[in-house]
Each structure stands twice: as structure tokens, then as C-alpha cells.
Structure 1
Amino acid sequence: MSKCKAWIHAFRLRTLPLALSNIFLGSFLAASDGGFRLKIFILATLTTLFLQILSNLANDLGDSISGADNEERVGPQRAVQSGLISKKEMIRMVIVFVLLSLASGIYLLWEGMQLLSFTQAIVMLGIGILAIGAAINYTVGKNPYGYTGFGDLFVFLFFGLVGVLGTYFVHTGSLNWMLFLPAIAIGFLSVGVLNLNNLRDIENDTKTGKHTLVVKMGSAIAKWYHLFLLGGTMVIAFLYSYLNWNSVFQLLFILSFPFLIRNIQIVFKNQNPRDLDPELKKLALTTLLFSLTFGLGLLF
């Protein structure tokens, strides 16, 4: 594999649809309230892509250092562990994406200053810096939170609440409590992807001391947890539509439900964790489908 292909592989492009889901939904919600701004949407999308790639690179580096990446690991080949990219090269690229995330995020806030106060912009900048730190500290550092069972919480916060509410806020300069429902829904689906990933890796994570929430509670309970996350998303979607009913088009999100139900069935029937690997991409794409159909339904 060439160095260029190795880097593209390390970026793990298949994770990007999941990262974009919260930006798209936050923007759709803003558009439904007449607050959509194209430049904000483009900058928010770029910032999210940079953060997701940063997280993927840091995860590759951290799992290689800790030993979680080894010959028994399931899933795509990791760049550092395989020797395609050196640790020094990976550290340099992590720094590059930290700088790209900062630059894009600051430009985003600069554009948002039309509707935000200075204090609000500083708070948003602080949240952005925390997002960068969270992307790195998932598997890198002395106490990576991904190894102690807190990955689910951070994914819920940053891929759900911060992603959806933050995007809406930068578009409109305002928030309302009802927005927490779709933000929670996307957060649940994002955690569902992580839970599926950890179910797949439970055997290797147990051996290498990576104490994910799945390792802590066991695969049997993790399957019910998966049902809670995906089932909860469907309930929340209906609840939001009921409380904010305008037209039947709001139920477009139902198009994603057969894929969510199928994913739950596969998880409960699964006996070999390695067989769950193909379902990761499918659930990520289903999350994007949910975001798009939910958001489009609000515009009719």
C-alpha cells in the first residue's frame, strides 16, 4: 500500500457519515426556524470532518501504544500497528488536524459573531477546545477515557447534544428546550455505533485491558443497552413530531426504522462478535439517513 493510500485508510472515511449527521440535523432544525446560513453550514461541516479525522488518527495512535491494536483485532487494518505509518508521522498528522480543527472552528465562530455575543462566542470556543481534547484523549494519554468506560458518555455529549445544539445555536443565536429531543436521538444513535464497535471488539478489549462499557457490563446486557439506544431514538422521534406537529411529512424518518430494527435483530442473534463488523458502516449510514429524513420532514 502506498503512503498516500495508507493515510486515506487511516482517516477512516467510513466514519464520516456518522460525524455529519449531527451537523445536518442541527442545520435542518435551524432552516425550519428560518435561521439557516450557508457559510455556517459549510464551516460547521468542515470543522466536524477535521475533528472526526483527528479522532480517528488519535485512536489509531493510542490503541497502538496501549497494545489494543494487535494481530487479534477485528476490523480495518490500523496504520501504526501495521507499520504503514510510523508513530512520529502519526503524531505530526494529529497536530496538523488539531490546527485545522482550530482554524476552521475559529472561522466558524467569527462568522457566527453576527448573532452571538462575545461571551457566547468565548463559551463556544471553549466547547470547541474541549471537543479537540476529547477527540485526542479517547485513547491517548495517561488516562484515556475510552479505556475506562466513559466513551459512551463523551460520544453522546459531542456527537449528540453539542453537535446538534451547537450547530443550531451558531446558525440562529438561540436555543429552546424542545431541540434536546432530536439532539438526544442523534446522540443515542452515535452511541449505538460505538456500542456495536465495542461489542465486536469485546474479546480483544478484555485481553488488552481496554475496559469499555461493553467489557464492564458484558455482551448480554450490552445487547439490551443497544435496544435501549436504537429503540429510544425511535420513541423520541415520534415524541418530537407529536409535540411539534405540522404535517405528515414529519414522519419521513420512519424510512430509517426498518434498518434500525434489522440492526437490533442482528445484534441479539449474534454469537460471534467478529460478524458484527459489517454492521458498523450500515448503522452509521442509517444514522445519516435518519438525520436527513428527520430534517427534510421539518421543511415541508
Structure 2
Amino acid sequence: MGIRSKEEVIAFLLRAEVAAIGTSNMGSPRQRMMHFAVDKQFNIYVSSMKGDPKVIQWSNIPETALLIHQGEEFLQMEECEMIGRAEVLKDHTDRDMAAQLLKTRSPIVAQFTEIGALDKLEFIRIRPFIVKYRYVPEILQGEPPTVYEFSENRQSFSVWDDVRAKARAWKEAVRPLSLTATFVPILLGGALALASIHQLNIGLFLLTLIGAIMIQAGTNMINDWKDAERDGENSTGMRPFTGGSRMIQLGLISRADMGFFGLLLTVIATLIGIYLVFVSGWSLIPLILYGILAGVFYTSEKGKFSFINMAPGIAEVLIATTYGVFMTMGAYFVQTGSYSLQAFLISLPVALFISNVLLINQFPDAESDAKTGKNTLVVRVGKRAARNILISCFMAGYIIIGILPILGFAPYTLYFGFLSIPFALQAVRYAWQNYDKNAADIIPSNAHTAINHLFNGLLLVFAFLLTELDIVIPIVYLAASLLLIFWVWNYIERQRRVMNDFRNAFKN
């Protein structure tokens, strides 16, 4: 038959049910069979769940290859190879068009259309650069394939698209939501210092906050770098609270780059710490050294030393002391030049609640961690005992808040911290019911535990601002805190609903 017309090639594509779709993993291919649709311009449309690793890859490395194959016997085989660039559709009109094309070809889109949950799906359009159609008998006779090129599609993308994609990948590597673990104790230490000496050096406070955020971001990257091979063996899938950013496993950042920038941020944070030592006092050195050691050796590659594999509870104590006690006391020391028993006691609820965030996040990955030799506390003691530890930490944190004003270590405004109890109760309820069920069932407990830590910490800061400042500033601070809590809750809730709707679609 010779060269096929565009209409004939499109007719072949419409006869095919699925395509093998390949994306780049830093030079190594990643493939998946997916249902697809095609329009008259040879644009290919596919769909997947929001947050799916394939969608994340497309958002950052959009170059895509497709192979559509038909024919049971060799001499009947025909195939179409396409090379192009993917884009995740955001415009409502584009999404509606993609949904209309896909609902008769994709069981997933058909099911989500039926239950009215298309907003839980991402739609991807792959614009082809080149299309090659081959029919085996003709190729064997020396005839060339049918080739169509679409140079206009190459020109429709800007280099800034790739720059923005790379920026998104590095944002995920930093794990911005996790930085609240640093934000809370530094704010609390600053508020305690303000209440103690009635002044606050804003420059030193901001430098302390920047240094602390850098050490945590660097630690996040170092842990990803060290855990890349082990987390790559995680066969339980990704969920909103799965440990690590997965940027290495998705091929969006190389392991070498992750390790380099993690170490670079740690070095910069150390230099900031050295400066703070010179301006505030040598007694800050033990806290800085402790934080660096905890970050660098918290986890490690398989078979090498790490605190998480050292003994039960060591990792949790490290997190509690670093992101609870020592950061609070460090921020206090930078402002006052001394430590105080009050700062230590006030930091304990923050320490207990951040250790709970670490603990509950271990539940979804417990099976995979056990297989890959990552001996978290949940792996060591089991999910039932770990659930009871979680509940005990919640109780201990609120008991401390309750008795500190009575003992004279805090103002009675500290009781504003009790406003975060509803999140703790919800976290306990979901953990009690679902600790030994499917990993996705415990996601609400993950969410409420994280929000409880953030909200409680912000309320403790509010308690000390009320005693020191005119009412306007604390009220503005409280309003900003509530907006932040709402944003975080809404973000996490969207992730949870996506997972839940996806499961329910196929239960029905």
C-alpha cells in the first residue's frame, strides 16, 4: 500500500486499545501500558490519578515516547511509534475535551465520569514531534515507513517551561511542608526570649530561622540520597505521606545532585551556626553539633551505620530533641545568651508531637521498610505497640501543657494550646481504627497528627505573645496562623480525597 495518509494512521490508532508510554528517568526509560485517545492533529490524550508518579514525571521531564502495536502474527503486525512532549492540562476546556475523548476508551475515565469525580484525575496531552507508522510485510520488502513530522509542536514550548519544571522538582526535594518542624520551635524560642528579656533581635532571629530551615532541608536531601536504593525497592506504592520526596526514584533529580546540594545546605547552615556562636556564646556549639550529627547519620545506605537502625526509639529521640527541645532552646539562647528551665519545659510538648509525626509516618511504609532493612520503631515493636506509643505521646504533651502554668513555669494563656486537641483526637481515632489495615486507611491519622503539631506549636507561641505585646499583633499573628492551618489542612485533605475517591471508584 505504500505511504499511509494521516487519516489511515489515525484509524489505526483508534483501533488500538492501549499504548506503551515511556518517560525519561535521567536517561533510563520508564514504561507503562495506558489507555489513550487521539485527535485529528495526532495529539495523544491519557489520564491518571492526581499525584501519580507518572504525572509527576511528566510535569518535570515532559519528553515522551509511545509505541502502539497491533497484530497477533508476525506478518500481520503493524505499529506506530511517536516521539513528543507531554503537558498536564489545566484549562477546563482542554480537560473537558480530553475527558470526552477518553471516557469511551479508558475504564478509569469512564468510572470517574459515572461517579462525578473527574476533578480527581489529571489529563495529559502529548503533542507529537514525529510519527512513524510501520507495516511489517512492507518493511520486509524494503518499503520505508510512513513518517509525519510536526515541527510546530517543537516550537510551542519555551525553555522556561523546563526551568520551571526543574524548580518544581527541587521544591519537592526540599519537602516544604516538612519545614514546619523547624518553623515551630524557632518561633517558640523567639517568643520565649521576647517574654523573658522584653526584646527581640530580628536580624539574629531571621538568621537563626534560615540556618535551621537549611539544616532541615539539607537533612531531607541527604536522607533521600542515602535511602535512594532502599526506597527504590518500595513496592507498596506512593501515598501522600510516603517517606522521602522520591525525586531520585522518579528520575527528576540525580542521586549525585541530591547528595551534593544536601551537603551544601548543611555546610551553609553550619557556617551560619558558627556565626551565631560568635555573636551569642560558645554554649551554642553542643546544640549545633548534635543537630548536624542527627541529620547526617539519622539514616544511611543499606548495611551502613545509622541511628534509625541502632536501637529502638533512638531515631524518635533524635527527632524529638533536635526539632523540639534543642531548636527551641537554641533560638532562645541566640537572643538571651543563656538557657532556661522554662524554655526546656515549654519545648517538651513540641518535641513529643513532632516525634508523633515521625512515628505515624512510619506506618504506611512499615512492610517495605522491614523488607529493605530500615528498622524504624514501627518495624521493631509492631503497629499495635507503636499505636499505643503514639497515644501516650499525645497524652503526655497535653498533660505537660496543663501542669506548667500551675507550677509557675508558664502563663495561663498556655491553655490556648488545648485548642489543638480536636486534631489529636482525630489522629488517635483513625490510628486506633486503622493501624493494622491498608496503608491508605491510616492517611487521615497522618494528616491530623501533622496539623496537631503545627497548630499546637503556633498556639504556644501565641500564648507568650499575648503576655508581651499589645493585643493587635497577637491577633494578627493568630489570624495568620489559622490561615496557615487551613491551607495545610486543605492541601492534605485534597490528597486524601484523591486517594479515597480512586479506591471507591473501583470498589463500586
TM-score by length of 2: 0.54
- Which aligned pairs between 1:138-287 and structure 2 lie closer than 5 A? 138-140=298-300, 142-148=304-310, 149=312, 150-244=314-408, 248-270=412-434, 271-277=437-443, 279-287=445-453
Give 5+ residue unaligned stretches, structure 1. Answer: none
- Which aligned pairs between 1:65-144 and structure 2 lie closer than 5 A? 65-67=229-231, 70-75=234-239, 78-112=246-280, 116=281, 121=282, 123-140=283-300, 142-144=304-306
Alpha-carbon separation, structure 2, partners of 1:73 and 1:103: 38
Tell me how far 1:67 sits from its aligned partner. Answer: 4.4
| Partner amino acid, structure 1, of 2:378 | V
* 1:60 has 2:220 as partner: no
Structure 1 vs Structure 2: percent identity of aligned residues? 26
| Aligned equivalent of 2:203 | 39
Corresponding residue SS for 1:79: coil
Q: Give deviations 1:236-272, integer Å, cap 9, x for gaps.
A: 0111121227765332111111111211111111122
Q: 1:69 to 1:183 in 2, by over 3 A?
A: farther
- Which aligned pairs between 1:6-17 and structure 2 lie closer than 5 A? 6-17=169-180
1:73 touches 1:201 (CA, 8 Å); kept in 2? no
* 1:18 has 2:181 as partner: yes
2:235 touches 2:368 (CA, 8 Å); kept in 1? no
Q: More deviation in 240-249 or 164-173?
A: 240-249
Q: 1:75 to 1:135 in 2, by over 3 A?
A: farther
* 1:288 has 2:457 as partner: no
Q: 1:73 to 1:134 in 2, by over 3 A?
A: farther
Q: Give deviations 1:221-240, integer Å, cap 9, x for gaps.
A: 10110011111110001111
Corresponding residue SS for 1:209: coil
Larger Rg: 2
| Aligned equivalent of 2:104 | none
2:342 touches 2:410 (CA, 8 Å); kept in 1? no
| Partner amino acid, structure 2, of 1:290 | N
Q: More deviation in 243-252 or 17-26?
A: 243-252
1:139 touches 1:145 (CA, 8 Å); kept in 2? yes
1:11 touches 1:57 (CA, 8 Å); kept in 2? yes
Higher RCO (C-alpha 8 Å, min separation 6): 1
Alpha-carbon separation, structure 2, partners of 1:33 and 1:199: 40
Q: 1:248 to 1:99 in 2, by over 3 A?
A: closer
Corresponding residue SS for 1:200: coil
Corresponding residue SS for 2:223: helix
Alpha-carbon separation, structure 1, partners of 2:365 and 2:455: 26
Q: 1:137 to 1:68 in 2, by over 3 A?
A: farther
Tell me how far 1:146 sits from its aligned partner. Answer: 2.0
Q: Give deviations 1:125-171, integer Å, cap 9, x for gaps.
A: 34313312321212235211123442101112211221112221221
Higher helix share: 1
1:161 touches 1:184 (CA, 8 Å); kept in 2? yes
Q: Give deviations 1:181-205, integer Å, cap 9, x for gaps.
A: 2222111011000001112211111
Corresponding residue SS for 2:248: helix
2:369 touches 2:376 (CA, 8 Å); kept in 1? yes
| Partner amino acid, structure 1, of 2:279 | E
RMSD, matched Cα: 2.1
| Partner amino acid, structure 1, of 2:299 | T
Alpha-carbon separation, structure 2, partners of 1:153 and 1:101: 22
Q: 1:293 to 1:178 in 2, by over 3 A?
A: same
| Aligned equivalent of 2:192 | 29
Q: 1:220 to 1:260 in 2, by over 3 A?
A: same
Alpha-carbon separation, structure 1, partners of 2:296 and 2:447: 22
TM-score by length of 1: 0.89
1:74 touches 1:201 (CA, 8 Å); kept in 2? no
Alpha-carbon separation, structure 2, partners of 1:248 and 1:87: 49
Tell me how far 1:297 sits from its aligned partner. Answer: 1.3
Tell me how far 1:13 sits from its aligned partner. Answer: 0.7
Corresponding residue SS for 2:171: helix
Tell me how far 1:285 sits from its aligned partner. Answer: 3.2
1:68 touches 1:205 (CA, 8 Å); kept in 2? no
Alpha-carbon separation, structure 1, partners of 2:273 and 2:207: 7
